[in-house]
Copies of this chain bind each other. A is one copy, B any other.
Amino acid sequence: MFIKLHRNAEELIRLSGGRATVGRIRILSILLAEQQAITHREIEQRLPQTLQLDRVTLYRALEWLAGKNLIHKVTSDDRVWRYHANRELHSHQQHAHFKCTRCAQVICLSDLPIERSWPLPIGYRFQEIELTVKGLCADCS
C-alpha cells in the first residue's frame, strides 16, 4: 500500500518536471496517505527517523509541490498553513474546508454547492472563494 503511494508520488513529481528527490517523494506520499490537511510540523513528525529533513527544505518542498498543483495550502485562523494532496476532484475545482474548533483537525469538504462567483460591489472583480466551516468533528462532538 505504502509502496504504491510512493511510486505514485514519484511519478507525479516527474510528470511535473522536477527532480524526484527522496524528500519530495516522501512528503507527497505522506500527504497522499492523509485524509485531512496537516501542518508543516505534523508532516515533520510523520517523516521516518531515517529521513529527517531540514525545516527549510520541507517548507521549500511544500511550496514547490503547491506551485505544481500537486498539493494545496489551506489558510486557518491559527496562522498556520496546512497542506493537502490534490485529489482529482479538488485539483481543478474550488472546495470548502472544515476545521474542528476543539482538536484543530482540518478536512476538505466536497465541492462548493454555491455559485462560483459572488455578488461584489461595482468595480470589483471576483477571483475565488475561500470558505471554512467551523464546528466539532465526529470525535469531538
Contacts and interface: CB of A to CB of B under 8 A. Distances in A.
Nearest to A137: B124
A73 to B, nearest CB: 8
Interface stretch (A54-62, A85-93, A127-135): A127-135
Contacts of A123: 137-138, 141
A109 interface: yes
Interface string A89-129: 00000001010010000000100011000111111111111
A134 B130 contact: yes
Copies in the complex: 2
A106 B132 CA distance: 17
Contact of A127 (B101, B124, B125): B101
Interface of A: 75-77, 79, 96, 98, 101, 109, 113-114, 118-138, 141
A134 B141 contact: no
B120 A109 contact: yes
Nearest to A113: B119
A126 B130 CA distance: 17
A3 B17 CA distance: 62
A136 B125 contact: yes
A127 B120 contact: no
B120 A98 contact: yes
